[in-house]
A and B are shown apart, each in its own frame.
Chain A
Amino acid sequence: MSRKAFTRLAAPLIHLPEPDLDTDQIIPARFLTTTRREGLGPFLFYDRRYGTDGTPRPDFPLRPLERHGCAFLLAGHNFGCGSSREHAVWALLEAGVRAVISTRLADIFRGNALRNGLLAIELPPAQVLRLARCAGQEVLIDLLEREMRLPDGERIPFAIDPFARYAMLRGADELDLLLELIPEIERHEREREAEHA
């Protein structure tokens, strides 16, 4: 999947308030028997969206995603905990989720998200509550200005790691940057190996 650059985007806000939604909920392990990044979108939140008999559960609020093709997810505390599977991020992106906002995002999930161009934003509880009142409405996220704009014109600033922001704005990736450092990496390895000889 080639990563898309993210600068400014308006999309409906989906509210999933349940805390501790782990990566097994985002994409159950039985869908990980693949060797590709693509094709995981249809399995996003599979066991939450569908009953054991495969019928859709109307109470699971992903409908705006299906209607608009993209959305932001306002998630409960500690979203993305559990397994390190990057498949969770690939599934979210393929289904059209372009940003995840929560009072806390699990460490490995947050890193995976930013590395793939899925904007991951942590906000204090008061601001998450404010955003929750806009569930279902269109919200604008401006990564250049580091702020969200709500339908009533209110602006909510957010903090984001400058390195991740740079990579997201440019669509750049870490591997390219690391490859440029190979001579420095080799020097470091030689020094450490000499110390341990």
Chain B
Amino acid sequence: MRLSLFEKIWRAHQVRPPALGAPAVLSIDLHLVHEVTSPQAFAELARRGLKVRRPERTLATLDHATPTSPADAQGRPPFADEACRAQAEKLIENCADHGIELLGFGSGRRGIVHVIAPELGLTQPGMTIVCGDSHTSTHGAFGALAFGIGSSEVAQVLATQCLFRHKPKSLRIELRGRLRPGISAKDLALALIHRFGTDGGTGHVVEFSGEAVRALSMEARMTLCNMAIEMGAPSALIAPDETTFGWIEGRPRAPKGEAFARACARWQQLQSDPEAVFDRELSFDAGTVGHRISFGTDPAQNAGLDEPLPQPEGGKLRRAYEYMGLEPGKPLRDTPIDYVFIGSCTNGRLEDLREAAKVLAGRRIAPGVRMLVVPGSEQVKRAAEEEGLHRIFLAAGGEWREPGCSMCIAMNGDVVPPGKRCVSTSNRNFEGRQGPGARTLLASPAVAAASAVAGCLTDPIALQVEAAA
């Protein structure tokens, strides 16, 4: 056989092939639901008198518009406004009406959709996974075909557990070499987007392969696949291996004992065959990547700390410099900053918090800088506290918050004020993404933490933090 990993997953889930101009019908194994993109879908079901067909394949949580400050004395979460509260209450009601499991307040398992499904062991190789959120590509780190969908499709999956889908093209990106010590998957993702552009993967499912990928931890793989959508690719895939199996084993919803052994045997088949054919193939040397920080208003506009920023060739970059208050020809290093956000589905997992804590241990953030550290889930929060990471963040002068999307999307009251610069471990530096007029600089957790200490853009080496191998 000469099938790619993508082709194998696609074939196993194709209920019917494309026919008479209609796209294929694809079966969905896992549907993740949150409060912002689902209410209109549930309303559509109600309008048509439909039920959720497979509630047991559906998992809901509250993350996008939920507060990250603690509940009040009566245990009520302090929503930013009544609209946010109403959204949360609507999801609670919809889940109760349809028998959908909701990991909400008080569950001990609430968190960002793309953090909680993997940590529960629900995200497994070979699955199809969808969510009304573009960063669903994250789950591809496990060798699952995962992509973001609109609310009309959320209704379709709720009602039928299927979607019409035109088969995307395939793109293999071979990542040669090894990341240098201290350089993270975030730096790699930004470097790839810089090289291949914001539409470099549009219309394609990306498979990341090569030595650099095999060496990445599961959490780093999730960061890499998470950012594929910023290159235009709704899905990214990494073939599962021992790292994947080891991460899944023992998690609450993972198969146990004999069933796990059988699952592993099946998952081992989920590799692209040596002769597999891809529509496009690219290659990239991961060993050349240094720290990357975005300077503009799309994720491809990023640079190394000491590179002179490029001269604008068109109106777009000129507008970006004006918006960001930056100048071409100068490097990013030492640019003053006001906010630091550590969290999100890109960099809100335990490993990310450890990276930040390593830089912050025994240091304080610069006067005038506000730093929010927002764990990706309640589970991440507990694990970080068991290791004492929260004490490091608090002692440094940062805020240790409740889990959620927070300042990545700025819907819940966690907002960067107009004109302020925020070094953010999130995924999008679009105009207004962190609040109207907010200036976002995307970076890795280590760079964000180092910049918080310096009060300006810098790297851990400048603070004499030793890079881990």
| B436 in the interface (beta carbon within 8 A) | yes
Q: CB within 8 A of B148: which of A32, A47, A84, A185?
A: A84
Are B411 and A29 within 8 A (Cβ)? yes
| A8 in the interface (beta carbon within 8 A) | no
Q: How far is the CA of A84 from the CA of B163 in the complex (A)?
A: 16
- Report A-chain residues with C-beta under 8 Å of the C-beta of B22: 163, 177
| A95 in the interface (beta carbon within 8 A) | no
Task: Determine the residue in chain B with the shortest Cβ distance to A107.
Answer: B234
Number of interface residues of A (CB under 8 A): 52
- Report A-chain residues with C-beta under 8 Å of the C-beta of B456: none
Are A185 and B155 within 8 A (Cβ)? no
Given A83-B134, A86-B150, A189-B161, is A30 in contact with B202 using a C-beta cutoff of 8 Å? no
| B444 in the interface (beta carbon within 8 A) | no
| B418 in the interface (beta carbon within 8 A) | yes
| A85 in the interface (beta carbon within 8 A) | yes
Are A108 and B162 within 8 A (Cβ)? no
| B181 in the interface (beta carbon within 8 A) | no
Are B198 and A108 within 8 A (Cβ)? no
- Report B-chain residues with C-beta under 8 Å of the C-beta of A35: 39-40, 43, 86-87, 90
Are B44 and A24 within 8 A (Cβ)? no
- Report A-chain residues with C-beta under 8 Å of the C-beta of B65: 32-33
Are A178 and B151 within 8 A (Cβ)? no
Q: How far is the CA of A36 from the CA of B48 in the complex (A)?
A: 16
Are B25 and A181 within 8 A (Cβ)? yes
Are B203 and A185 within 8 A (Cβ)? no
Q: How far is the CA of A195 from the CA of B430 in the complex (A)?
A: 45
- Report B-chain residues with C-beta under 8 Å of the C-beta of A124: none
Stretch at the interface among A14-22, A67-75, A127-135, A137-145: A14-22
Q: How far is the CA of A6 from the CA of B45 in the complex (A)?
A: 25
Q: How far is the CA of A50 from the CA of B396 in the complex (A)?
A: 39
| A55 in the interface (beta carbon within 8 A) | no
Q: Mark B27-39, 1 if CB is under 8 A from A, else 0.
A: 1000000001101
Q: How far is the CA of A117 from the CA of B155 in the complex (A)?
A: 17
Are B27 and A185 within 8 A (Cβ)? yes
Given A24-B433, A185-B162, A196-B266, is A84 in contact with B409 using a C-beta cutoff of 8 Å? no
| A63 in the interface (beta carbon within 8 A) | no
Number of interface residues of B (CB under 8 A): 69
- Report B-chain residues with C-beta under 8 Å of the C-beta of A18: 315-316, 319
Q: How far is the CA of A106 from the CA of B321 in the complex (A)?
A: 24
Binding site for A on B (CB under 8 A): 12, 15-16, 21-23, 25, 27, 36-37, 39-40, 43-44, 48, 50, 53, 64-65, 81, 83-84, 86-87, 90, 132-134, 147-153, 155-156, 159-164, 166, 168, 198-199, 202-203, 229, 232, 234, 266, 298, 315-316, 319, 409-411, 418, 428, 430-433, 435-437
Given A33-B411, A52-B418, A175-B155, is A78 in contact with B160 using a C-beta cutoff of 8 Å? no
Binding site for B on A (CB under 8 A): 18-20, 22, 24-25, 28-30, 32-37, 47, 52, 77-78, 81-86, 89, 104, 106-108, 111-112, 115-116, 161-163, 166, 173-175, 177-179, 181-182, 184-185, 188-189, 192, 196
Given A35-B87, A36-B43, is A81 in contact with B199 using a C-beta cutoff of 8 Å? yes
Are A29 and B409 within 8 A (Cβ)? yes
Beyond known contacts A33-B87, A83-B428: 14 more, CB 8 A cutoff: A24-B433, A30-B410, A32-B65, A33-B36, A84-B133, A89-B150, A175-B155, A175-B159, A178-B162, A185-B27, A185-B160, A185-B162, A189-B161, A192-B12
22 sample A-B contacts, Cβ–Cβ < 8 Å, listed by A number = A18-B315, A19-B316, A22-B430, A28-B436, A30-B411, A30-B436, A33-B36, A35-B86, A47-B431, A81-B199, A82-B229, A83-B134, A85-B150, A86-B37, A104-B199, A107-B203, A115-B150, A115-B152, A163-B164, A181-B16, A182-B160, A185-B27
